[in-house]
Every structure is written in structure tokens, then in C-alpha cells.
Chains A and B, each alone.
Chain A
């Protein structure tokens, strides 16, 4: 193992025919520098949001100019009428939607990952479509249905139903990938030791796919929290956080939006990092 690694590294550092070593020395920094630049570009609006949550603007709407530093918006984060309600709606829908999508998506992922059955390919294609479909088509079609059925009334319930719908496919593919990577022999071994299929599932399979289920839940949670396009179609008069922000931007967004955005961002990154660390520890142990 170590010989192979050493060999690989040697050929990496000392190419067989270094025709132009002087040029190679600085060109090797091009790609990492480029990657760093692109990541900074991806982060720039997030940095802007964070910075401008401290902007000491004269009025109460975000301005392009940075006036100075203040903590006012962080102290009065809930002072804008309507915004806390929208924020709460989002935080109520996301966990419920993620929980339903996780249960349904996990079962679906298990079916697709473990079994070969008649109808597997069509189901697989439907999941693929659910991932590739433009959000506007999905939102418009859901609204078409709710309008035709005249039930349920547009609002919390229709948002929830729609969010569960678009999250299932993402949970399913996350769980399926893990299930396919599992060693079926482990479950067989449990059954050889006289565990019933159900007991083998709960004692062996479930703990092994738990990280994927958790990752699927987090994915569904973030998808629900951030969704604008589909929610905009089915929300009726119930604004979620993104919908409220979108409505407010016509007259200018209050800086508190930046505070809430920063809070959500920090919570999301924290959850993702914890998830990655937990998986890494599990992988090592």
C-alpha cells in the first residue's frame, strides 16, 4: 500500500520528462488559485448579506452604500411587522415537510436500492424527472391541480403538500446510494443467527443507513426552507420567509432580512459540518 502511494507521489512530483520545470513550478498554482477565486465568487452575496446586516443606514431599507457599523438590526431582528410570522411559517413547514419526505423517501430508497422488481425502471425514471423538472413547471402544475380540485384552500397545507412532494426524490436517491453500498451479507449473517428479517433490518440495516437518512432529512429541510418558485405558486395569502422577502424587495428589504439570512446560513452550515464530522467518525470507527 505504502509503496504504491510513494510511487504515485514520486511520479506526481517528478514527472518522467520535465521539459520545462521553471514554467511548471508556477503553473501548478493556477488551478488552486482559480478554485479559490470561484469559491469567493460563490460566497460573495453571502458575505454581502453578512456585512450589510451591520450597515448603519439612515433609513430602514438596505442601501448599496456601507455607512458604518451598527448592531441595531441584530438587536431589533423581530421588529418588522409580518416578517417574524413569515419566518415562523417557514420554520414550521420545513421540519414537518422534511420528516414526511424522509419517511416516504427512505422507504422508496430501500425499495430501489435492495430489490429488483417489475416497474423498477419507470419508478426510477419518475424520480429522475422529479429532480430534473423546472420548478416553475412543478409549481404551475400543482396550482392547476389545487385550482381544479378547489381543495385544499391555498395556504399552509398546500405549501406543505408541495414541499413533501419535491423533497421525496432527493431523499430517495440519497438513501438508495447508501443502501446499494451496503454489504448484504451482514443482514444474511444476522438472519443466520436467527434474527427475523424485521429484527435484522432494525438491528443491522437501519443503523448502517442512518447517516444517509439524516443527510436526506437535512437536504429536505434546506430545500423546503429555501424554496421560492413552487411556494410562490401554491402559497395563496400565506407568505413564507423567501416569499416575504421577495414581496418586500420592491420597496427595499429591511436589514433584518440580512440578520435572519445570516442566522439561517450559520445554522445550515453548522448542521452540515456536524453531519460530515459524524459520518467521518463513523467511517473511521
Chain B
């Protein structure tokens, strides 16, 4: 700021006084930050640290409670015992993320480039599911996909499907449910990236005799890649931890790691093993999030989260 005022220019009378921050003004950001900082420390960072602590405890609820004992074997135990659920969660989540990206990209592209004055209304329509509880939406899918529901029932009655055909309790139902529930999380960051692209670049490409497809492939697509990564992060990470879809739409063969964590925490009260599972999930998240933030910064995810689009 001070460099902006040339050395030779006579400084306007009050300006220097205000630009050199007094100690009081230097403290202002910390004063503003203080309350939320303390709150996030106590109710976000501290719990994560305490979960790490709990994951290294041993003992049982019935045998005198849990004690901290650097019980690293908890991790080996849960990784060995629930390997299948871990692998399944990552498989489902990857399929969900790829499908959601393929579904959302053409839509967000069209809205960002051709939405005109309807952009904000169209975005509100994409966010519409958020105004109905996640649980209720998933229960409705259970009815829509039901064995005799509006889709399967109709197809069966005209003989297109055998009577015993079902969608519920299959991996397809779980993946479809998660895809539905996370589609807006995929669409928002994609939109943030696509909307930011200067539309004149596409005009320029066309002036240089590129076809629509070439203009897309050489101009729009490369510029939208940060959005694809943000969408990947905001879809893949939460989808891996989801258990509601597997619980409501799945069956015994579709149990995900979230179901195990929830069951151990809330039913079996096996806090150390449940915490070890959550810590593993948290580390996956931390690695992906740190990589993303280091390479692409945090701005896009923040804008998508605030729906500042």
C-alpha cells in the first residue's frame, strides 16, 4: 500500500496516519477472530485431537472403563477386520464421484454459459433438495425404488421385468442414493469454476476457426479443471463416510465403513475401535484436503460452500 504512493508525491494530509496501523488496529483482526477461533478450537480441533487420544485407549465398558495405553493395535485390528467395508466405501464413493461429475458437468456448463438472467433461479433449483431433510429424501427414494413402487411396479405389471427383480438392497441402490444426495455438492464447485471463465475466450477460439467442440476441449475444459478437483473433494470425501444411504437403501451386503463407525459408537459403545476407524477416515480426508489446498488454494471450495455463485 505504501509503495503505491510515489516517493515524490506529497502524501495527502491524513493518509499516512491511517495507513501505518497503530497497535490497536493491528489487534483488530485478532479481536474479530477471537470468539469464533476459540469456538472452533473447542468444538472442532479439540474433538479431533481427543478422538486420536480415544483411539489409543484400551479396555472395555464392562471391565472397568477405558484407559489410555498407546493401544496402536486398535488400528491393526480395525483395518484387518473391516478391510472389506473400507474397500467397498472407497469403491462406491469413487463410482459416485465419477457419475456425479459426468451428470453435473453438462448441466453446470449450460447454466454458466447460457443461463443468462436465469442463472440464479436455476442454481436455486439445483439447491432445492437441501430444503428437505436428507433423511426424508432418502426415504422417498426407498419408496420410488421399492419392489412394487411407481417405477418397478409399473415395469413389472406390463411384463418388462420379472416379479422377483429388485433394486433395493443392491449396491446399485446405495450408489444411486449417494449420487443423488451429493449431486448438488458436485454441481456447486463446478459452477464456480465454469462461471469464472471469460466467455470472450470462447469467442476468440471460434474467431480462430475452432469448432464448438474444439473450443470446449482446448479452452473451457482446461480452465474448469480446478472446479473438477474441488467437486471431487466435496463429493468423494463426504460420500466415503456416508452411512444413511447404505442403511436405508442397502442390505447386508452393502455395509460401508460409516455404518461400522456408527454402530460401534452408538450401539456397541466400543469407543476406541470406533475412534480408530474415524481417525483413518479423517486422515484420508486430511491428505486429500491438504493436497488440494496446497495446489489450488481454498477459495473455490469456500465460494461453493457459501453458495456465492
A contact set with B: CB distance below 8 Å: 8, 11, 15-17, 31-32, 34-35, 38-39, 41-46, 48-49, 52, 62, 64-66, 103-105, 107-108, 110-112, 114-115, 117, 119-120, 123-138, 140-145, 147-148, 161-162, 164-166, 168-170, 172-174, 176-178, 188, 191-192, 215-216, 219, 222, 225-226, 228-229, 232-233, 241-242, 245-246, 249, 253, 257-258, 261, 264-265, 268-269, 272-273, 276
* Docked complex Cα distance between A138 and B301 (Å): 18
Please list 6 pairs of residues, one from A and one from B, whose beta carbons are closer than 8 Å in the complex, sorted by A's number.
Answer: A35-B122, A133-B282, A134-B238, A169-B40, A177-B303, A276-B121
Chain A residues with CB under 8 Å of B190's CB are none
Cα distance A172–B35 in the bound complex, in angstroms: 12
Q: Is the CB of A125 within 8 A of B308?
A: no
Would you call the interface of chain B mostly helix, strand, loop, or mixed?
A: helix
Decide if B226 is an interface residue (CB 8 Å cutoff).
no
Neighbour of B274 across the interface among A112, A140, A191, A219, CB < 8 A: A140
Docked CA distance A136–B260 (Å): 11
Closest B residue to A171 by CB, please name it: B306
Cα of A241 to Cα of B286 in the assembled complex, Å: 31
B45-100 contacts to A (CB < 8 Å): 45-48, 50-51, 53-54
The yes or no answer to B103 lying at the interface (CB within 8 A) is yes
With A and B bound together, what is the CA distance between A132 and B126 in angstroms?
Answer: 20
Q: Which residues of B contact A124 (CB under 8 A)?
A: 298
| Complex Cα gap A14–B137 (Å) | 44
B50 touches A148 (CB 8 A): yes
* A253-B139 in contact given A130-B40, A130-B44, A272-B131 (Cβ < 8 Å): yes
Cβ of A242 to closest chain B Cβ, rounded Å: 5
Q: Is B155 an interface residue (CB 8 A)?
A: no
Give the interface SS of chain A, mostly helix, strand, loop or mixed.
helix
CB contact between A105 and one of B36, B122, B134 (< 8 Å): that residue: B36
Among A41, A129, A233, chain B packs the most CB atoms within 10 A around the CB of A129
In the complex, which of the residues B47, B104, B106 contacts A31, with contact meaning CB atoms closer than 8 Å?
B106
Q: Which residue in A35, A110, A125, A136 is a CB contact (below 8 Å) of B243?
A: A136
- Docked CA distance A169–B301 (Å): 11
The reply to whether B32 and A140 contact each other, CB–CB distance below 8 Å, is no
Which of the segments B2-10, B145-153, B159-167, B217-225 contacts the partner chain? B145-153
Interface residues of B in 163-215 (CB under 8 A from A): 180, 183-184, 203, 206-207, 209, 212
